[in-house]
Amino acid sequence: MSSDYEKVRFFSLPSPEKHPSRIGAIAKIMGLEAKPIEESRILEIACGAGENLLPIACVYPNAEFLGLDSADKLLKEAKLVAEELKLKNVSFKNYEIGKTKEDFGKFDYIICYGMFSWVAEEIQKSLIQFVKNSLADNGLACISYNSLPGWNLRSSLRDVCKIYDKNSRLPEERIENVKKLLNSLKDLQVDDYSPYGQQLREQLEFLDTQSSGFIFHELLGDQVSATSIDQFSRLIEAESMYFNGDARLSRMRFLSLSDQQSQESIKHIDVKNLTLSELESLADVVNPLSFRTTVFSKNKTKTIDINAISKLYLSSPLVPLSKNPDITGTGAEEFIDAREYTEKETNPLMKACLIFLKDIWPESVALKDLINLAANRFNLDTDTASTEYVRERFLALGCMGMADFFLSEPKCLKHAGEFPIAHPYARFQSKETKKVTNYRHEYSLLDDFQRIMINFMDGTRDIPALQSAMVKAFIDGKLNISEDGKPLKNPLQAEELVREQTINALRMLSESALLSAD
């Protein structure tokens, strides 16, 4: 397996559901314990070159991190980056599940992303056993896998690709030929308005956006499978571990069935006698997903702890469509997110909370504090009914991907400090790429100006010094400045524009969750 992954790189990229703070938040919502990240031991299996683990280790210096992988080349890269970033809290070791025997102690969080569905069944079982033996009693594990029944359509496309691929060319040639095949299928598609046609079109469009590594390992790999929630749950239950939810709240479909119409639809289902995994299996038949990140532990859960939600940190990207929204009245106000999904709200306290979160983005705040802060700002009452409504409403928004819960507060700032600091891992990444990891454990895309500037943002320069550093970069020919599409050559004119763009870039980096207080 490691040789294939060294031939065609499949980056272990950061993603919100691979962050222990998101995993811990899911556990809290489902009534379980979750150890504070700052005090935890965190293990990532199949860590690759550490692209997921390293940015987290940068943020939590008191936590202990271990990355395991069987690819020596990738592990060497991870160790070199850790050394360059002077990280003392993270280590990387060669380990092959099912073959290597070594005890690393107990971990509070175990993450395994992009491995389970790409190994043989006996290795899958060995992986689950390894997780059980390595997981603390109140620890949380998260494993990703291709999910049935949603993966069935991609399985059909994979079968076509395997027929078309003769496995005799170089990996690069095989990838290119499969991409051409997928484009041809898109062109050949006639009925893309039927349910099947729409699903096929969506799948082909999704694959068109994926990396060469994804295409190679997902569509051409020798060992690729899919698993239903029920199958995965039975596998972990055989090792006395239990399904607790999904690391991405929006994938927990049964939680989102809270409106009156949905409740009416499920009134004949004996919900009380079904486990959480069985409930999610039912939802998966109606609204199937092709990929899941299951959170599980040694503890059973089924009911939501609505009180625990109040202690979690919360953020929301929603903004009001109206320039002058009516906050204190009961009229409906419409809010929209970056996907252009909208949601209407009439409750004054809820509207006040959404406006407050919009104003502090990308920062987060504990929900219990948010309610008080928003109420005080808009002179609203915080009666029990309104408070309970706000908690339940934010849970519903979380299920729709319109709100995010965190166990630990993300360390990003709304405004740059006196001596601006950018995420240390993002500073490292910016030397090679425009795509960097932010404090929300998501990707941000830098422009050329920001990419140069972020390297100066290590906390040693105040804003005037940062402006001067960018002016020097222009003078040294490292930075091109243009106005209205035309390069500026006048030094005085360019210097003034550079100083102005530095302030604008700070604002953009702040909105992208790349600035920190320390």
Which residue's entry shows tokens 């860590």? Answer: 47
| pLDDT of 352 higher than 60 | yes
d(CA 516, CA 420): 7
Give the integer Cα–Cα distance in Å for 24 and 212.
Answer: 32
Beta-ladder partners of 443? 437
The vertex-27 CA angle with 389 and 105, nearest 5°, equals 165
Q: Taking the mean position of all CA atoms in its chain, how far away is CA 31?
A: 22
The predicted pLDDT at position 267 comes to 58
pLDDT confidence of residue 142: 98
Tens of pLDDT, residue by residue over 146-162, are 999 988 888 888 888 88
Element of type H or E holding 69: strand 64-69
What does the H/E/C string look like for 205-235?
HHHHCCCHHHHHHHHCCCCCCCEEHHHHHHH
Q: Which is higher by pLDDT, 209 or 460? A: 460
Task: Please give the pLDDT value at position 165.
Answer: 81
Domain 309-406: state its class.
alpha beta
What architecture (CATH level 2) is domain 2-147+226-297?
3-Layer(aba) Sandwich (3.40)
Q: Is 70 exceeded by the pLDDT of residue 115?
A: yes
Per-residue pLDDT tens for 386-412? 899 999 999 999 999 999 999 999 999
pLDDT tens digits for 16-73?
Answer: 999 999 999 999 999 999 999 999 999 999 999 999 999 999 999 999 999 999 999 9
Q: Three-state DSSP class for 458?
A: strand
Residue spans per domain, the chain: 2-147+226-297, 152-219, 309-406, 421-516
Pairwise CA distance, residues 224 & 120, whole Å: 8
505 or 306, greater pLDDT: 505
300-309 pLDDT, tens digit each: 986 788 888 9
Q: What is the pLDDT of residue 89?
A: 98
Phi, psi at residue 232, to the nearest 5°?
-65, -40
pLDDT score for 347: 96
C-alpha neighbours within 13 Å on the C-beta side of residue 202: 12
The pLDDT value recorded for residue 256 is 59
Angle between helices 367-378 and 348-360 (to 10 degrees): 100
> 261 falls in which pLDDT band (50, 70, 90)?
very low
E strand or H helix at 398, and its extent?
A: helix 384-399
Which range is least confidently modeled, 313-317, 379-383, 485-489? 485-489
pLDDT at residue 345, rounded to an integer: 95
Residue 431: pLDDT over 80: yes
Reported as a pLDDT band with limits 50, 70 and 90, residue 310 is very high
Instruction: Give the pair of three-digit tokens for residue 363.
Output: 């920062």
Cα–Cα distance measured from residue 148 to residue 292, given in angstroms and rounded to the nearest whole number: 9
Query: Would you call the peptide bond into 14 cis, given omega within 30 degrees of 0 as the criterion?
Result: no
Q: What is the pLDDT of residue 172?
A: 82
Among 136, 83, 77, which residue's Cα sits nearest to residue 106? 136
Looking at residue 435, its pLDDT comes to 93
Q: Work out the average pLDDT over 121-143.
A: 97
Kindly list the strands in the beta sheet with 365-366, ordered across the sheet, starting from the edge strand earlier in the chain. 365-366, 313-315, 404-406
* Predicted local distance difference test score (pLDDT) of residue 260: 45
Nearest to 28 by CA among 495, 359, 366: 366
What is the reported pLDDT for 264? 56
**The two three-digit tokens of residue 371, written as one number:** 């309610």
Topology alike, domains 2-147+226-297 and 309-406 = no
Q: What is the mean pLDDT of the chain?
A: 89
Q: Which residue has the tokens 């991609």?
A: 154
